[in-house]
Each structure stands twice: as C-alpha cells, then as structure tokens.
Structure 1
Amino acid sequence: MNITVERAAFLAALQRAHRAVERRNTIPILANVLLRAEGGRLTLIATDLDIEIEDSLPAECAAEGEATLPAQTLLDIVRKLPEGVQIKLEVSTDNGTATLRAGRSRFALNWLPASEFPSLGRLEDGVAFDIPGHALADALARVKFAISTEETRYYLNGIYLHRDPQVADRLRLVATDGHRLSLASLTVEGLPEFPGVIVPRKAVDELERLAQAADKAPLALLLSPVKLAATLGKARFTTKLIDGTFPDYGRVIPLGNAHVATLQAEELLSAVDRVGTVASERGRAVKFTFGAGKLVLDVINAEGGGSASEEVDIAYAADDIIIGFNGKYVVDLLNATAKTGPIEIALADPGSPTILRRPEASDALCVLMPMRVS
C-alpha cells in the first residue's frame, strides 16, 4: 500500500474512527485501525467488537492494499503534524513496517495484517428509513441521561427505540433507570414497522455525534433484531444491540396527575442547584412544598452539612403538596430537557410518580419517582 492524503481530512477521519478503539483490551489488534486503499479513497475502520466506525477520504493511491496500524499512535502523529501538509504512507511487506512521511518528518510503525482484523459484518438486510439528523440528535440528548448504569439490569443500559403503537409515523425513544424515565418522540415519514430494539449507551453517544454531523440532512438507519447501522455520506456506524426485553414503561407513566404547577425551568434549575449544595452525597433529598403562588425548596442535612431553603414563583391553584425528589435527578433532567422556558410539574400525591414536561408538549415527557423527606 502506498498512498498520499491531505492531513486535515486524514485527521478528521482518524478522530472519528478512534472513538471505537478501547484503550484497554486483551486482543492487541483491537488497538489498531484498519486502513484500506482502493479506488482513489482511503477507508478507515475501527471496532471494539460491540461498535464499528467506518469513514473514508480521497487519496492518491500509488499502490492499493490494506493493513492495520496502532490507532492511538497514528492519531497522535497526525495531530502533531503541521496544518496543510501532505502525508505519504507506505506499508512494506518486506520488513513489517509502515513508513509515514510529512514534510521533514518521518515515522516507522509496526503493522499487523488486515486478515487478522475482526469485523462486525456489514448489515445488509433489515428495516431501512431516513431520519432528520438534528431531530434524532435532539431526541437522543433529551433521553440518554436516564439510561441505567446498573449492570444487573442490562436491558436498561440503553435507549429503547420503537414505533409508537398509536401513531404510525412516530418514532419513540425511551430510557429509564427505575428512578426516572425520559421519553421523546419524533415524526418520521414512512416509518416502517419493526420490533423495538435497545441501543447501548456507548452506541447512543456515537449515534448522537453522527446525527449532529448530519444536522438538517437525513441520516440513513438500517435496523435488524441484533444490529443497527447509521450512514451519513461515506461515514458509517454499526453497533450490536442489547439482547433483552425492555419493560412495559407505559405502566409507570401516570395518567391522573391533576395537580399542575407551571414555572420557569431556569429558576427551578438554579434554585435546586443552590439548595442542593448542603445536601448529603448519599441522599441528595430536596423537599418540594407546592402552595398557592410559590414552591418552597428545603434541604436539611442531618449529617452536619447544614440546611437551605429557597422560594420559586409558580402558577399553582391546587391543594398544597409536600413531596421529595433527588436534587441531582432534577438538575440532570432539566439540563437535558428544559434549561429555559416554562415547564409543568404534574403531581398526584406525595407517594406517586410525578411528570415534568413542556406545556402542551406531546412529543416528550419525564417521569420522576418521589423519595422520602422529613
């Protein structure tokens, strides 16, 4: 293999592919990136056996071929080269080294044969549809904070992606850790029927990046029961899916929360963050007292951290309700879904799940479980 590539394009592709490389692994070749030169392009592929990232860029191919090189070392070298330089990469089968030249710099790297590089396999058959990149990125960002990190309930370690059973062209994304739940929906014209799938956390982050890069352009998704592939131009991302059954989340979304308070998200976010300063790390409990025209937030740290109280103006005309929430969960929820503008908090009683949502919003909501407060 003997190629010449432009440094900026090579660096961008390396940075994307490198995200699939695990720093610690027991299989040496997984620390490498596969480079394949053919047809006037250089294709890069990296994998950790759960996700696979593929990208390509134009290249002058004096000799086609493929090999794998250490991903981190190659990325560090290209990052430190001067902007605008042309990079020449030649892989020799005689001495087992790859030579990289740029300007007056020269590097020799050991390589491993491409035949040893594992592959997730290209997903060819499945349900295919296009989705606006910016809409998917926004929905993923609003939901992923609620993904569980508890390994024993592995089926909650991702986002449940499925078609709304009531609305044919609506795609739903749901995540929950048992203490909080976030749901977001978006319209996808011509959305086909497919069985719900669970996209793992690491894959969610990469899918969000690709969707952000797409912006208003469509992102092509291909789904099978075991894999998901997303394609944007020459960039392709493939992931294994979580093999499990997502719980019936509809059973935990309350329907009769008639006590509704309306307030400004930024005021609630700042107030909860302030009073939470004295909360204990173990409990982080904040007492919410809803009354006519105001919400009182109280924190008492029995372990010696002190106490705090703050009032927030609200529109509320129902019976007074005192309920406790984990302050960190409230902050995380608001940061992900509603940093500013009006929000509604719909309550039933101190022991029942509470709904937080934008007024009149039909495409998203969050459910928060209460906790005991003294």
Structure 2
Amino acid sequence: MKVTVERSTLLKSLGHVHRVVERRNTIPILSNLLLRGSEDGLKLKATDLDIEVVETVPADVIEPGATTVPAHTLYDIVRKLPDGSQVSLETTGETGQMLLRSGRSRFTLQTLPESDFPDITAGEMAHRFVLPAGELKRLIDKTQFAISTEETRYYLNGIYLHAIDVDGRPVLRAVATDGHRLARVDTPAPQGSLGMPGVIVPRKAVSEIQKLLEDGESEVQVELSATKIRVATAEVVLTSKLIDGTFPDYQRVIPSGNDKLLTVDRGDFAASVDRVSTISSERGRAVKLSMADGRMTLSVTNPDSGSATEEIEVDYDAGPLDIGFNARYLMDIAAQLDGDTALLKLADPGSPTVIQDREGASALYVLMPMRV
C-alpha cells in the first residue's frame, strides 16, 4: 500500500475513529486501526467489538492495499505534524512495517495483518429511515445527561429510542433515566421509523454518535435491527451493538395529576440554585424550594459550612409548598430547556415533579424529590 493524504483531512478522520479504540486491550488487534487504500480513497476502520466506525477520506492512492497500525500512536503522530503538510503512508511486504513520511519526519510503525481485523457489521438491518442530523443531535443532547452509570441496572445505561403514537401523531421518542431523573424528548417520526423495535443505544455509542453529528444541516441515515444500530453520515458509518435488555415502562413514572403550576425565569432560577448550592455538601447537594404567593425561597443548610437563602419572583398561586431536590440535577435540567422560562408541575413534597419549557413542549423532564 502506498497513499498520500493531506494532514488536516487525516487528522479529522483519525479524531473520529481513534476514540472507539480502548487504551488497554487484551487482544492486540483491537488496539489497531485498519487502513485500506483503494480507488475510493483511504478507508479507516476501528472497533472495540461493540462499536465499529468506518470513515473514507480523499487520498492519492499510488498502490492499493491494506494494513493495521496502532490507533493512538498514529493519531498522536499526525496531531503533532505541521499544518498543511502532506502525509505519505507506505507498507512493504518484507518488513511487515508501515513507513509514515511527512516533510523531514520519518516514522516506522509495527503492523498486524488486516486479515486478523474483526468485522461486526454483518447482518441485515430491517428498519431504515433518514432524519436531519440536527434532530438526532437534539434527541441525544437533551437526554444524554440522564443516562444511568450504574452497571447493575445495565438496561438503563443508554437511550431508549422508539416510535410511538401521541394523540394520533407519530413521533420518534428518546428516553433516558437513572432512577432519580428522567428525560423524554420527541421529534416527528421520519418515514420508515414506524414499526421499528424499541432499542436501547449504549452510552458509549450515544457519545460517539453525538460527536459525529457536528454538521446539523446534513441528513443522517439510521438503520436498525433487533441487535444493532447503524448511523451513517456522508463520510462516516458507525455500527453499534444494542443493549440486550428491556427498558422499564417509563410512562408509569411520569405523573399526570400534578396541579400546582409554577413558572419561573429559567436563567434566574438556574443561577439562584447554583449560588445557594455553593454551601451544600458534595454528598448531599440538597436545595429546598419553598413556594408561596408569587415567590420562591431557595435554601441550603450544611452543618459543616453554614447556610444560604435566596428569594426569586415566580408565577405561582397554589398553596404553600416546601420540596427538596438535588441541586446538580436541577441545574442539569435547566440547562436543557430552550425557552426563557421553566414550567414546574408540582404535587407534594414526596412526589416527582415535571419540568418543561412550557405546556406541551416536545421535551419533558421528571425529577424525584429529596428529603430536606
């Protein structure tokens, strides 16, 4: 194989694919990237056996061929080369090594045979649809923070993606929960998504898809089977295994009878929570909200460091109510809201609260209270 490629093009592509490769591997080939030079350009492929990323970049291919090289080493070399330089990659059959040349720099990298490189993409994808990259990014951005990191409840370690009918209107819905908070976001269902199985996309795949969707204007093709998801942009194809488990019935934890409505300026509310939580302990992080007659008093008491209170104006005309929340969770949710206001639907100090931009918004959040 002998190819020449522009450094910035190669670096951008390596930035996408090398992240999939784990730093520590018991199987040597999984530390490597597969490079294949052909008439289409230079194809880069990485996998950790759960996720596979393939990207093709324009390159001057003098001799077609393929090899595998250490992913993180190659990325670090290309990252340190000067801007605007050309990178030449060449393998020779005798040494089993790859020579990388750029300007006056020379690097020789150990290779492993491409025949050893695993392929996880085999299999038929039964469902296929296209949607704007911006919409898929929004579904991920607004739910990702609520993914559970608790390994024992592995079926919560991802985003539950499914098609559902809402008041006669088909929507594609993303849901994530860690048991303390829940995020649910809808977008109009693209053609081809109806009838798709409900799938749980794992946390690492969610994170990689999010990074691939830098251009919100383009379209993304999504393909699904019962065990895999494939997301393809114009340049990159990511295939991932799905979490083999059953997502809980999230509809049961979304309260419908919360009749105490409170509207508050989102920015003021988030800033006030942030200020008073400075006093809270790392472990507790509890902030108490006291509502009465058009005002909210936020208070934190920490036996070790003192106390803090702050009062803000709100639109609230139900009876007095005291309720406690984890301050960080409140700020996480406030950061996801798009509008200038936040609508809190409350019931009582022991029941979950619903938070939205406004009534009927496509994004809805549920937060469990804390004892304070």
Q: Normalising by structure 2, report the TM-score.
A: 0.97
Offset of 1:122 from its aligned partner? 4.0
Are the counterparts in 1 of residues 21 and 48 from structure 2 also a CA contact under 8 Å?
A: yes
Are the counterparts in 2 of residues 262 and 342 from structure 1 also a CA contact under 8 Å?
A: yes
Give the aligned residue type for 2:305: G
Secondary structure (helix, strand or coil) at the match of 2:25 reads coil
Are the counterparts in 2 of residues 264 and 340 from structure 1 also a CA contact under 8 Å?
A: no
Q: Which residue of 1 aligns with 2:270?
A: 269
Offset of 1:78 from its aligned partner? 1.0
Q: Which residue of 1 aligns with 2:348?
A: 349
Gaps of 5+ in 2: none
Q: Which residue of 1 aligns with 2:197?
A: 195
Offset of 1:61 from its aligned partner? 1.7
Q: Which residue of 1 aligns with 2:103?
A: 103
Secondary structure (helix, strand or coil) at the match of 2:214 reads helix
Gaps of 5+ in 1: none
Q: Which residue of 2 aligns with 1:147?
A: 147
The equivalent position to 2:208 in structure 1, one of 201, 206, 209, is: 206
User: Structure 1: how far apart are the matches of 2:40 and 2:259?
Assistant: 64
Secondary structure (helix, strand or coil) at the match of 1:206 reads helix
Are the counterparts in 2 of residues 266 and 339 from structure 1 also a CA contact under 8 Å?
A: no
Does structure 1 residue 54 correspond to structure 2 residue 54? yes
Secondary structure (helix, strand or coil) at the match of 2:143 reads helix
User: Structure 1: how far apart are the matches of 2:338 and 2:360?
Assistant: 15
The range that moved more, 57-66 or 308-317, is 57-66
Give the aligned residue type for 1:157: N
Offset of 1:300 from its aligned partner? 0.7
1:130-141 matches, within 5 Å, as 130-141=130-141
Which deviations, in whole Å up to 9, do the C-alpha atoms of 1:182-238 show, x marking residues without a partner?
10000133232111000011111111122333x122100001111000011131011
Which deviations, in whole Å up to 9, do the C-alpha atoms of 1:79-120 show, x marking residues without a partner?
111222221111112011111111111111111111111121
User: Alignment identity in percent?
Assistant: 48
User: Structure 2: how far apart are the matches of 1:195 and 1:131?
Assistant: 17
Which deviations, in whole Å up to 9, do the C-alpha atoms of 1:292-346 show, x marking residues without a partner?
11100111112x12100001110001111111111111111112x1276111010
Which deviations, in whole Å up to 9, do the C-alpha atoms of 1:214-269 show, x marking residues without a partner?
x1221000011110000111310111100000000000000011100000111111
Offset of 1:360 from its aligned partner? 2.8
1:1-374 matches, within 5 Å, as 1-166=1-166, 167=168, 169-190=170-191, 191-213=193-215, 215-302=216-303, 304-335=304-335, 337-338=336-337, 341-373=340-372
Give the aligned residue type for 2:76: D
Secondary structure (helix, strand or coil) at the match of 1:164 reads strand
Are the counterparts in 1 of residues 339 and 357 from structure 2 also a CA contact under 8 Å?
A: no
User: Structure 1: how far apart are the matches of 2:160 and 2:123?
Assistant: 20
User: Structure 2: how far apart are the matches of 1:281 and 1:99?
Assistant: 51
Give the aligned residue type for 2:43: T
- CA shift in 2, pair 1:331/1:339, >3 Å: farther
Secondary structure (helix, strand or coil) at the match of 1:83 reads coil
Are the counterparts in 1 of residues 281 and 302 from structure 2 also a CA contact under 8 Å?
A: yes
- CA shift in 2, pair 1:123/1:305, >3 Å: farther
- CA shift in 2, pair 1:271/1:123, >3 Å: farther
Are the counterparts in 1 of residues 124 and 225 from structure 2 also a CA contact under 8 Å?
A: no
Secondary structure (helix, strand or coil) at the match of 1:169 reads strand
Number of aligned residues: 370
The range that moved more, 54-63 or 143-152, is 54-63
Secondary structure (helix, strand or coil) at the match of 2:315 reads coil
